[in-house]
Amino acid sequence: MTRVGTHALTASSRTNLWGRLSQHRGSVGGANPGGGNHRGTVFRRHVGSAIITRDCRTGSDTWGQGSDAPRAVRDQEGELERAVSAHIRSMPLLWLPVEDRHDRAAIERDLIALLSNADRTPIDPASPAWLGHHADADAIRRSGLWNVHRVDRRASGEGIGLFRSLVNDL
C-alpha cells in the first residue's frame, strides 16, 4: 500500500523533498550501503517494527528507542535497517511539485483521508501479504496506509481540489 507524506511544512524548515526521501530510503553507498536511521524518520521505524513482528525477530529490543543511539547499538540494528531500506526502495514513488507549504499540507491531509480504509468499506483493500498488517500502530493496520495521523478523518475537499488542479496542469 501507500505512504502519503510531504516535507517542509514550517516556514523555518530547510528540508527539501529529495533530502527527505533520502532519509526514508536509506544510504545507497558510503560506509554503510543499504543502511539507514529509523530514529530520523517515523516511516522507517514503522516499517522496521512490522518486519520485526512478521519475522519474529529477536534481539531488536532497541528498535525505536530514543532519538539517538551509540555506535554499538546502531551496528546491532544494521541488518534490520538494511531490510527496511530494501522494503522502502521497492515501493513505487509518485511525487507532485507543490511549491506552497500550506497547499502541500492541505493535499497531504485530504489524500490521507481519501485513501484511508480506517473504519470504512475499503475502496482498495491492502493485499493479504502487505507488510503493514504486522505494524505496531493500529492506525496503519486499519487504514492500509503507512500513516498514523489523519487516517480517521474525512477529506475536506480543499486538498483534493488543489491536487486535481495541479495534476490537470501537468
- Domain endpoint, select from 65, 89, 113: 89
DSSP string, 24-74: HH--SSTTSTT---TTS-HHHHHHHHHHHHHHT--S-TTTT-SS---HHHH
Shared domain for 81 and 105, answered yes or no, is: no
Range of the domain at 41: 17-89
- How much of the chain exceeds pLDDT 70, in percent? 99
Q: Judge contact between 162 and 103, C-beta under 8 A.
A: yes
* pLDDT range class, residue 14, cuts 50, 70, 90: confident
At position 85, the amino acid (one-letter code) is S
pLDDT at 10: 85
Residue finishing a domain among 62, 89, 116: 89
Asked if residue 105 and residue 57 are part of one domain, the reply reads no
Query: Quick check: is 8 in a domain?
Result: no
- Enter the C-alpha cell of residue 141: 493496520
Q: Tens digits of per-residue pLDDT, 91-127?
A: 999 999 999 999 999 999 999 999 999 989 988 899 9
Give ∠ CA 142-101-25 in degrees, rounded to 5. Answer: 55
Last residue of a domain, one of 27, 54, 89: 89
Residue 94 domain-assigned (yes or no):
no
Burial class (CB in 10 A: 0-12, 13-18, 19+), 70: exposed
Mean confidence (pLDDT) of the chain: 93
Over residues 45-100, the pLDDT tens digits come to 999 999 999 999 987 899 999 999 999 999 999 999 999 999 999 999 999 999 99
Domain count for the chain: 2
Q: What is the pLDDT of residue 1?
A: 62
